[in-house]
Amino acid sequence: MDTATKTASTLTWFNVGLAFSFIALNAVISKIYHLGIGVDLVTAAVRCIVQLALVASLLQSVFETNNPWAVAGIALLLNILGTFETGARNKSKRRHERMARLFRSVLFGMLGSTIPVSIIGARYAMSVDPFWTPSQYIPIVGMLCGSTISGVVVSVSYVLKELKENRDKVEVYLAYGATRMEACKPIAIEALILALTPPINQMSVLGIIAIPGMMTGAILGGSSVEQAAKMQMIIMFMISASSGLASIFTTAYAISIIVDDEHRIRSDRIHSQPLALWAERDRILRSAKASMGRAYLNARAWRSRTGVEEEVLLETRR
């Protein structure tokens, strides 16, 4: 175990650069098969490097201060960043109404799920005293936020898709006097099933097909294999609870926005256009790509012209 810890502590930025070659390989594959995700892969990888480097520096100082208010601030920051990632940067084709409402609903859903689940789980399931111990609580909140984001995006995207493409079924229920929640109940049930399917699949294969990162990290950190396995079980149960609570809240909120108080489906509140910020980013990237293409063609033309002139000069000298 000591050998594994020493090996992990000797990693340098050169090792990270070598691992980055796997991302470069995926980007090349994307280019060859015209998948159109090469830029996203590289951008996400660069963001991963920058974010983890900043988080490592920040968490080190928080761990040293051992201040509960600093821990609370980090937990709130993780939820806010997770909300922004869910609402502003998710790749789903649809979102509901104004960005402010979407941000508020997702933030309340995440805070109402990750914070209570993390506090109860850390204090009672994991026997951490005090529960806000930075080295224990912050990683727990981070894992819950990361998994909850996926559940929220899947559930809300499915609800908006069904209310946009299959609104006739809901309107039949509404015409016969059903409330908006009663009319949308089948859609909400299916959305929650989809949101909880990833945690179910993960729990089904843990230990048999896959060894999860939490367990691997605990083993590399010096914990016994048995303790690492029990910790992973607790984390997975907490992830399932957090994903379920957040998905329920955001699904109900999305339905209440798209189907108004007068039981009308407001398709005009479902937006499929990208946010202005990301549309501008895409425009800049397209412009940069076009400029690089023109510069490449101009360079080739200049080289060809220079080559022709050199040939004429040689013929003249002869």
Which tens digit of pLDDT belongs to each residue from 77-131?
889 888 887 765 554 555 555 556 677 788 888 999 999 999 999 999 988 888 8
Structure tokens at 60: 């080190």
> pLDDT at residue 271 above 60?
yes
How many CB atoms within 10 Å of residue 78?
19
Output the DSSP codes for 260-277. -TTS-B-GGGEE-SPPHH
> pLDDT at residue 63 above 80?
yes
Q: What is the pLDDT of residue 5?
A: 44
> pLDDT at residue 6 above 50?
no
Of 56-65, 265-274, 305-314, give the range with the top mean pLDDT: 56-65
Supply the mean pLDDT for the chain.
Answer: 81
Of residues 275 and 168, the one with the higher pLDDT is 168
3-state secondary structure of 206: strand
Which tens digit of pLDDT belongs to each residue from 12-58?
889 999 999 999 999 899 889 888 888 889 988 998 999 889 888 88
> pLDDT at residue 2 above 50?
no
3-state secondary structure of 210: strand
Per-residue pLDDT, averaged over 175-192, amounts to 89
If phi over 0 gives left and psi between -120 and 50 gives alpha, with beta otherwise, what is residue 273?
A: beta
Alpha-carbon distance of 134 to 124, in angstroms, equals 16
Q: Which residue has the tokens 């997770």?
A: 82
Residue closest to 161 by CA, chosen among 200, 181, 190: 190
